[in-house]
Structure 1
Amino acid sequence: MQARDRIGDRYELTYPIGRGGMGQVWAGYDERLDRPVAIKFLRQSEVPEDERAVAAKRFRREARATARLDHPGVPAVYDLGEHGEDLYLVMQLVRGIVLADHIAEQERLPVHEAASIAAQICSVLDAAHRASLVHRDLKPQNLVLTPTGAVKVLDFGVAALLGPAEASRLTTTGRTLGTPAYIAPEQAAGSRVGPVADLYALGCILYEMLAGRPPYQATNAPEMLRLHMGAPIPIVTEHRSDVPDDLAHLLFCLLAKDPAERPPSAAEVEKLLAPFLGGRPAHPSAPPPRTSDPVGSTPTADAAFVPPSRQDFTVVRARAQQLAEHERFVQAAELLEGFLRTCDVHPGAWQVVALRMDIANLHMLAGDLRRAGQQFEALADDLEQAATDLDLAENCRRRAATCRQELAGPASSITSGIDTMA
């Protein structure tokens, strides 16, 4: 697969996000609805022939399992289909940083931040468990922190349904699904797995956020499984003295070997975490207005393909014009935003001003009037402060006013901004 390949006659691949043993994940664009997406592929040619039927069934189950979870902490599922011999799943593309990378950078997170992240994970787990789903592979690598502080839980690919109608866990004979560093003892032993197995994994993640390392460390997977099943429960305060005793006790209970000794539900754990949030809400409020400022992100970010800075300004602008003519306004705007972040040009240069005007116009055309209005106002402020082009500044003020009027009153036609990109 390559960038610009088309999938399902509507999705264009932009850049690869990652790959695993049996598949790949690409960032892409839904040309029909003009929005960024993530496209996850199951490459059946890379699956052993005797396992393909099980892998395909598990892949389709992931689509159903994720689609049924109506929760802001779970990426939305948009589509499921086939591309040649491969299966693909189209999902919301999430902007943010993977929790594993955040821990690696910070080593130990502040107590209130770790508690907030854990509480948000609990909210997702509560929704999943009420829908009779157990994640079974919860780990920092499939948790994403968005720029607003919200947590997204990814990859329900090994989720098991609790209901009798679909009792099969799709476990290949002789294999244990899950990641050894975060696997519950009963899961490591191949026993029946229930919701409290996810709470054990949550305990491992919370421990790592606080201590800077997982609760158990081993040189190989079998040894790690043995530690989860039989080693003493580690005490987090032995590695970090500022963890409150009540939080340390909750963590000890989450890591209990016997499932019956763990808290009874994710909702209960979320309540027990509340005192440690430091007065901060566990669930961030509505996101602040988006801007074109660079946002630190991982390959899972919902940004458009960021072109190399050596790309010519005229070429990039022409490409954005082409996208806009096909009503792919969001993709065009994000293309220009990516270029603007990488180009080595003085902020007051005419090229930068032109790109900012283009971006605001594109967001206006896409219907994101609040964002467009803010961008027009910001550009007008900068132009007036520099006293470089007062006529353009006045033009920006008028366009910002149009955006405010559209937001406040009945919809009317939006003046086309495509011609300003010529």
Structure 2
Amino acid sequence: MHAGDRIGDRYELTYPVGRGGMGQVWAGFDERLDRPVAIKFLRQLEVPENERETAGKRFRREARATARLDHPGVPAVHDLGVHGEDLFLVMQLVPGIVLADHVAEQERLSVAEAASIAAQVCSVLVAAHAASLVHRDLKPQNLMITPAGVVKVLDFGVAALLGPAEASRLTATGRTLGTPAYIAPEQAQGGPVGPSADLYALGCVLFEMLSGNPPYEASNAPDMMRRHLYSPTPIITEYRSDVPDDLAHLLYCLLAKSPAERPTSAGEVRQLLMPFLDEDDSQGLVVGRADNRKASATPHAVPVPPPRSQQELAKLRAQARQLTENECFVQAAEVLKRVLRSVPEGRGVLDAAEVTSLRADIASLLMLAGDFRQARHAFEALARDLDRSDGKQDLAQECRRQALACELEMGEQADAIQPFSIR
């Protein structure tokens, strides 16, 4: 796969996001609907020949399973198709920071933030389990925190119907599905896997958020699975003294060796987590929001190589103009945003005037795309910065007029008129 390749006669690949043992994930654009997407490929040639049929069935099942989960905590599925020898799945492109990176940066999270993230995961699990789906591979690498603080559960790639017959058909021969550091004992043994296995994995994730490390450590996968099976259940207060006793007890129950000794449902766990959330969070807001700096550092925000000359910058601008002429406004804005992110103001080929011009163009493109809320924020931010520049008042006022137009488009006339009534 290469940047610029067209998939399914409508998706253009832009940059790679990640790679697994049997496939790749690319960021791309849906040219027909002018929106960014994630495109996940199953590279059939990289799958052992005797497993290709099973892998293909699991891949298609992933698409159908994820598409059935109509929940804000699950990326939306847009399309499924074939490209050459490969299957591909088109999904919502999720911006944000992977929980594993967030924990690594913070070393450990506050009690309230960890409880908030776990409660949001529980909300997704309630919907999944109600649809007879088990994720089977919950881990910090599969949890994304968006810039707005919403937790997204990624990769239902090993999800299976709860019935044992279906589970056996989806399980690759000789393989245990899941990740050793977060795998439930019954899953490690290759036994029947139900919703309780997801709760065990959630307990492992919650333990890591609070302590900075998974509940068990080992040098290889077999030893790790033996730890889950036979090692004493760790007690979080022995690693961190400020964890409330009730939360420590809940975590201990989530990590019980026997599924029968764990909480009965994700809904029950969510209710038990509620007392530990901040007040705003208990009303539906998220504590510990991932800021824009962290969001820009994630795989979904990989920058393009910075332009090294005015000629390269002109080429990128020409690309954006061509996209605009084709009414691909979001894609054109993304080209300019990646240029802006890649070269800080005052360095390289971008001077202050060029930065201002790029920001104005991005805001205008967002407005043309109908993303009036983001366009308004972009115009308002540029106007505030121009207020601090001599001789830029006319441009600042024009940005405010455009912001007003965006607010009027959103039906927020009363709020929109106010900033002009005090001038």
TM-score, length-scaled by structure 1: 0.90
What SS does structure 1 have at the residue aligned with 2:232? coil
- Inter-partner Cα distance in structure 1 for 2:294 and 2:252: 36
Larger deviation, residues 254-263 vs 172-181:
172-181
Q: Is the 8 A contact 1:29 1:37 kept in 2?
A: yes
Q: How does 1:125-140 map to 2 (within 5 A)?
A: 125-140=125-140
Question: 1:19-69 CA deviation, whole Å, 9 max, x = no partner?
Answer: 111101111111111111110000000111100000000000100110000
- Inter-partner Cα distance in structure 1 for 2:139 and 2:283: 20
Q: Is the 8 A contact 2:112 2:278 kept in 1?
A: yes
- Inter-partner Cα distance in structure 1 for 2:28 and 2:357: 26
The number of residues matched between the two structures is 405
- Inter-partner Cα distance in structure 1 for 2:234 and 2:134: 25
**Counterpart in the other structure of 1:377:** 380
**Structure 1 gaps, min length 5:** 411-422
Larger deviation, residues 338-347 vs 36-45:
338-347
Q: Is the 8 A contact 2:197 2:259 kept in 1?
A: yes
What SS does structure 2 have at the residue aligned with 1:24? strand
Aligned mate of 1:354, from 347, 354, 357 = 357
- Report the AA paired with residue 295 of structure 2: G
- Inter-partner Cα distance in structure 1 for 2:383 and 2:216: 56
**Counterpart in the other structure of 2:417:** none
Q: How does 1:168-187 map to 2 (within 5 A)?
A: 168-187=168-187
Q: Is the 8 A contact 1:309 1:344 kept in 2?
A: no
Aligned mate of 1:407, from 382, 388, 410 = 410
Q: Is the 8 A contact 1:233 1:252 kept in 2?
A: yes
**Counterpart in the other structure of 1:268:** 268
**Counterpart in the other structure of 1:46:** 46
Q: Is the 8 A contact 2:99 2:144 kept in 1?
A: yes
Q: How does 1:64-213 map to 2 (within 5 A)?
A: 64-163=64-163, 166=166, 168-213=168-213
**Counterpart in the other structure of 2:15:** 15
- Report the AA paired with residue 10 of structure 1: R
- Inter-partner Cα distance in structure 2 for 1:304 and 1:174: 36
Correspondence 1:247 to 2:250: no
Q: Is the 8 A contact 1:14 1:305 kept in 2?
A: no
Q: Is the 8 A contact 2:280 2:286 kept in 1?
A: no
What SS does structure 2 have at the residue aligned with 1:25? strand
Q: Is the 8 A contact 1:119 1:282 kept in 2?
A: no
Tell me the CA shift for residue 373 of structure 1.
2.6
Question: 1:271-303 CA deviation, whole Å, 9 max, x = no partner?
Answer: 00011113241585499xxx9x755345442x4
Question: 1:218-260 CA deviation, whole Å, 9 max, x = no partner?
Answer: 1111111111111110111111111111111001100111100
- Inter-partner Cα distance in structure 2 for 1:118 and 1:131: 20
Aligned mate of 1:397, from 392, 400, 419 = 400
- Inter-partner Cα distance in structure 2 for 1:363 and 1:72: 23
- Report the AA paired with residue 66 of structure 1: T
- Report the AA paired with residue 191 of structure 2: S
- Report the AA paired with residue 232 of structure 1: P
- Describe the shift of the 1:381–1:138 C-alpha distance in structure 2 as closer, same or farther (beyond 3 A): closer
Q: Is the 8 A contact 1:160 1:169 kept in 2?
A: no
- Inter-partner Cα distance in structure 2 for 1:356 and 1:264: 52
Tell me the CA shift for residue 357 of structure 1.
1.3
Larger deviation, residues 340-349 vs 168-177:
340-349
What SS does structure 1 have at the residue aligned with 2:202? helix
- Inter-partner Cα distance in structure 2 for 1:391 and 1:317: 24
- Describe the shift of the 1:229–1:305 C-alpha distance in structure 2 as closer, same or farther (beyond 3 A): same
- Describe the shift of the 1:299–1:394 C-alpha distance in structure 2 as closer, same or farther (beyond 3 A): closer
- Describe the shift of the 1:34–1:259 C-alpha distance in structure 2 as closer, same or farther (beyond 3 A): same
Query: Where in structure 1 do 4 or more consecutive aligned residues deviate above 6 Å?
Result: none
Q: Is the 8 A contact 1:18 1:25 kept in 2?
A: yes
- Describe the shift of the 1:10–1:381 C-alpha distance in structure 2 as closer, same or farther (beyond 3 A): same
- Report the AA paired with residue 324 of structure 1: T
- Report the AA paired with residue 296 of structure 1: A
**Counterpart in the other structure of 2:304:** 306
- Report the AA paired with residue 278 of structure 1: D
Larger deviation, residues 370-379 vs 22-31:
370-379
- Inter-partner Cα distance in structure 2 for 1:42 and 1:276: 41
Q: Is the 8 A contact 2:123 2:270 kept in 1?
A: yes
- Inter-partner Cα distance in structure 1 for 2:11 and 2:286: 29
Tell me the CA shift for residue 305 of structure 1.
5.4
- Describe the shift of the 1:305–1:344 C-alpha distance in structure 2 as closer, same or farther (beyond 3 A): closer
- Inter-partner Cα distance in structure 1 for 2:257 and 2:378: 54
Tell me the CA shift for residue 341 of structure 1.
2.0
Q: Is the 8 A contact 1:36 1:93 kept in 2?
A: yes
Question: 1:167-201 CA deviation, whole Å, 9 max, x = no partner?
Answer: 54411222211111111111111111110010000
- Inter-partner Cα distance in structure 2 for 1:263 and 1:153: 21
What SS does structure 2 have at the residue aligned with 1:386? coil
What SS does structure 2 have at the residue aligned with 1:296? helix
- Report the AA paired with residue 36 of structure 1: P
**Counterpart in the other structure of 2:295:** 296
- Inter-partner Cα distance in structure 2 for 1:93 and 1:297: 14
Tell me the CA shift for residue 348 of structure 1.
7.6
TM-score, length-scaled by structure 2: 0.90
What SS does structure 1 have at the residue aligned with 2:216? coil
Q: Is the 8 A contact 1:23 1:41 kept in 2?
A: yes
